[in-house]
Amino acid sequence: MDSFFTKAQIIEKMTAFPVIPVFYHPDVETARNVLSACYRGGVRCFEFTNRGPEAESVFSALYPFVRENFPDLALGIGTIYNVPQAEIFIRMGADFLVQPVTTEDVADYCKIHQRVWIPGAMTLNEIYQAYLLGADVVKVFPGNLLGPEYIKAIRGPLPHVKMMVTGGVEPTVESLKAWFDAGVVSVGMGSQLFSSTALASKSWNEIERNCHTLIQYASTRLT
């Protein structure tokens, strides 16, 4: 399937709405409710992760739901290791692709299909190699072990590389400020944004409020 957005449009969304939920759930209805709450809260890029046997079936239902109801939302797929996995989800329409690692074959596949490619890396050498392979944004992970000061240090020799961070990003203005001040263009947030109690009690409004607070801060900071 052709990309719904251009690569430039997706990068613009990731920069303008730099809080990106990272989420997996085996139930389609729950995934729809969480995504809808995030959208109402101001999210415009959402990463659904390939972390369970139901990922394909849930994504296949989620993508047309997004295109019909939230046409300005970019829906990507995460936790992709190889080309066969990339092929499955790009065929279903995934707007961008996130890897926990960096592999050249997936990089090439994303180039061919004009998809934003966000590989995972940690060290200076890994980040630079991902950039050389054509990474649109490099996912620096795990943030909880590295910290904002690490990003500041990396930005010294690599000021031209767009970086996002996942892991260790708290759902607070203070946490976002530290990471953005360090130089990331966006942050990925998983379990910190979706508490188990909120999911169990179906507190979609709580998720919406959390997203609204964070997106509002990020948007205000950019203006």
Confidence of residue 195 (pLDDT cuts 50, 70, 90): confident
Rounded mean pLDDT, 27-40: 98
At 175, the pLDDT band (50, 70, 90 cuts) reads very high
Q: Evaluate if residue 151 carries a pLDDT over 70.
A: yes
For the chain, the average pLDDT equals 95
Least reliable range by pLDDT among 1-5, 68-72, 142-146, 170-174: 1-5
Please report the pLDDT score of residue 222 as a whole number: 60
Q: Give the neighbor-by-neighbor strand order of the sheet with 120-121.
A: 116-118, 96-98, 74-78, 45-49, 19-23, 186-189, 163-166, 138-140, 120-121
What is residue 196's predicted lDDT score, i.e. its pLDDT?
Answer: 86
- In this prediction, residue 166 carries a pLDDT of 95
CB 42 within 8 A of CB 51: no
- Return the amino acid letter for 75: L
Question: 33-37, 44-48, 144-148, 215-219: which has the minimum mean pLDDT?
Answer: 215-219
In the prediction, which pLDDT does 1 show?
A: 78
More confident call, 191 vs 104: 104
Note the helical H segments in the chain. Answer: 7-16, 28-40, 55-69, 83-91, 104-112, 124-132, 143-146, 148-155, 173-182, 196-200, 204-222
Cβ atoms 183, 163 nearer than 8 A: yes
Structural contact between residues 149 and 182, judged by C-beta atoms closer than 8 angstroms:
yes
Q: How confident is residue 192, by pLDDT bands cut at 50, 70 and 90? A: confident
**Confidence category of residue 220, pLDDT binned at 50, 70, 90:** confident
pLDDT score of 223: 53
> How would residue 15 be classed by pLDDT, with cut points 50, 70 and 90?
very high
